Amino acid sequence: MDIQRIGVIGAGQMGNGIAHVMAVAGYDVTVTDISSDALANAMKTIDKNLERQVSRDTISAEDKAAALGRIATTPDLTQLGGSDLVIEAATERETIKQAIFEDLIPHLEPHTILTSNTSSISITRLASRTDRPEKFMGFHFMNPVPVMQLVELIRGIATDEPTFEACRGVVEKLGKTAATAEDFPAFIVNRILMPMINEAVYTLYEGVGNVTSIDMAMKLGTNHPMGPLELADFIGLDTCLAIMNVLHDGLADTKYRPCPLLTKYVEAGWLGRKTKRGFYDYRGEAPVPTR
C-alpha cells in the first residue's frame, strides 16, 4: 500500500513528535486535537525542534521549511478521513481512545489503516471496537520521538500481513528501527521499564534511599543516562501509574502492584515535569528533590 497522507490524533508531546518525523520523511500530515491551544503549541514545538536539527546540520533550512509546509492542523477530527494511515496519540485511557475511533470511523476511506501509539493497552481489544480489526495495529513510538530510534509494532490477533508490512515500511522510511512485539500488556519496552521505575519508587517509599541517592546509584552504578525517578517525571507519573495498572490487571501478578507512593503523587497532581512537580520540583532554576 502506498501511504502518503498521515493523520495524527493528539497534539501533545508524542503527537507533535510523530508529526515532526513524518513531515521530515516526506509525508503530508494532518494533526488534530480538541484544544486549539495544544495545536498552536505543537507547531511552535515542532518549529523549535526542527531549528535545533538545522543548527546541528542534521537537516537543511530548506528541509525545515518543506517539513513545516507538509503539516496542517485542525480541531475537526473528521478532517483526518482522507488519511492513508491514522496514528492515535491521545491520553493513555482506553475509553477515550475508543470514543475517538468511534467518532472517526464513519469518515474513513475503506483502505485507511488505523493505529494506536498506546504504550500498554490491548491492541486486539481496541481493534475489536472498530470496523477494521484487520487494518488495526499498535504503532508505539518512544519519547522524544525525533531522537529515539525504536518503534514497537504490535499486531492484534486480527491484524493482516499487508497492514503490518505497510507500517513497517513507514518505520523504515523514517530511518527508525522496528521491534515486533506480541499483544500482551505493555508489550516489550514498558513491560521491562515500568516495573524498574515502580521498584525505584518502592525503594524510595521504604526509605532505602532518597531521590538523589536512588537516581545517582542507577546513573553511576548501571550507566543509565537518566535516573529512574527523573525518568518517571519525564514520562509523567500518571502514565507510569496507568501502565502499572494495565500490567497488574492484565497479568494478575502481585509483582506488578503499583507502589502506593506513586499513587499518592498522582492523587496530589504531582505528575512530573508537565505539572512542575513530581519526584523533583521544577519550579526553580534547577530541579530539587521532593523527598
Round to the nearest angstrom and report the end-to-end CA distance of the chain: 52
Beta bridge partners of 139: 153
What's the CA gap between 172 and 178, in Å, rounded?
8
What's the CA gap between 139 and 163, in Å, rounded?
11
Annotated catalytic residue 116: no
DSSP state letter for 258: P
What's the CA gap between 54 and 24, in Å, rounded?
12
Question: Annotation-wise, does 232 bind a ligand?
Answer: no
Question: Annotation-wise, does 83 bind a ligand?
Answer: no
What single string gives the DSSP state of each residue in 162-218? HHHHHHHHHHHHTT-EEEEE-SSTTTTHHHHHHHHHHHHHHHHHTTSS-HHHHHHHH
Question: Annotation-wise, does 92 bind a ligand?
Answer: yes
Tell me which of 88, 94, 152, 230 is the catalytic residue: 152
Annotated catalytic residue 83: no
Question: Annotation-wise, does 33 bind a ligand?
Answer: yes
Question: Annotation-wise, does 14 bind a ligand?
Answer: yes
Burial of 284 (0-12, 13-18, 19+ CB in 10 A): exposed
**Residue 33: HSE in the Cβ half-sphere, 13 Å Cα cutoff:** 23
Question: Annotation-wise, does 15 bind a ligand?
Answer: yes
Annotated catalytic residue 190: yes
Tell me which of 49, 94, 116, 140 is the catalytic residue: 140
What's the CA gap between 96 and 270, in Å, rounded?
22
Question: Annotation-wise, does 10 bind a ligand?
Answer: yes
Tell me which of 16, 49, 119, 122 is the catalytic residue: 119
Tell me which of 83, 117, 190, 198 is the catalytic residue: 190
Annotated catalytic residue 152: yes
Question: Annotation-wise, does 63 bind a ligand?
Answer: no
What's the CA gap between 135 and 44, in Å, rounded?
33
Question: Annotation-wise, does 98 bind a ligand?
Answer: no
Report yes or no: 63 and 33 within 8 Å, Cβ to Cβ.
no
Question: Annotation-wise, does 210 bind a ligand?
Answer: no
What's the CA gap between 166 and 2, in Å, rounded?
8
Binding-site entries: 10-15, 33, 92, 97, 119, 143, 274
Binding-site entries for NAD(+): 10-15, 33, 92, 97, 119, 143, 274
User: What is the set of active-site residues?
Assistant: 119, 140, 152, 190
